[in-house]
Amino acid sequence: MSPERKPDIQSFDHERCQRLREMIFERTSHLSPESTSKICTDVLVPHANKALDVLDNIPAVEEGLTVIKNAYEKEGFKPSSPRIAAKLLDAQAMKFIEMLADPLLAGHGNQQTFTQFFIFYDFAMGIKYTANAVIMAENRIRGNSEFDLIDELNSPNLPTDPIANVEAALLLENLTRRAADLLIKDPTGRLLIRSTVQSLENGSAFIPDFLTRDFNIEGARYAEKAYGIIYPLAQRINKK
């Protein structure tokens, strides 16, 4: 099949938010293990629990899923239930991050707001990493090449040198092959989500140096729980 045409679901500018996160890292480097653990316990876990409570608003979740489904179908692409569930998670995380980034990028920030941004940026990247595993796996099954997948990720972290780009493609080949195998084994995507979270927890997943892995892990754990709530709703929406 031909590569997926991307629907205009969101206008999130990932590059500008990443540059802001990198700038903060250059100024502060990593937090101490003690501070990181305290933030996870006192900030991120309660935030994740509140976010899960919001998902009890089933009509609002179904509306979001329907918007994504319709955007795909407008482009002549029939999305799977795992795909629209993952896309909703990704879109919500990115919208929240952009909301935090906008005042900082406009010059209206202080130490507290910069700290808040990088904590939740790293948390959101854990959500994005987990959700995108489903999308990349499905792309692999549908026939996208590793170079197609690199282009779709559109990340400034990815190399532009041709030789380095080949190396990145080979690494992504292994990642997407395993992800695709897990999605084929369990078409609900839950097994793939669980494996993706575990790869962050055990340190086998690559993350950029400027991110805090523990915050990524909390984001991934939230994504797994949220996906479990959203996926059945995506199935119902996709039958309409």
Q: Quote the tokens at residue 77.
A: 């692409």
For 127, the domain range is: 56-238
The residue with tokens 């293990």 is 33
- Of all residues in the chain, what percent carry a pLDDT higher than 70? 83
d(CA 124, CA 83): 18
210 part of a folded domain: yes
Instruction: Confirm whether 184 is domain-assigned.
Output: yes
Per the structure, the count of domains in the chain is: 1
Q: Is residue 99 part of a domain?
A: yes
Residue 229: inside a domain:
yes
Residue 22 lies inside a defined structural domain of this protein: no
Query: pLDDT, tens digit, for every residue of 197-231?
Result: 999 999 988 888 899 999 999 999 999 999 999 99
In a domain, 28, yes or no: no
Residues 6+ apart with CB under 8 A from 149: 136, 139, 140, 172, 176
Considering only residues 5 and 28, tell me which one the structure prediction assigns the higher pLDDT: 28
For the chain, what is the mean pLDDT? 83
pLDDT tens digits, one per residue of 61-104: 999 999 999 998 988 888 899 999 999 999 988 888 888 888 88
User: Half-sphere exposure (CA, 13 Å, Cβ side) for 62?
Assistant: 12
The pLDDT of residue 116 is above 50: yes
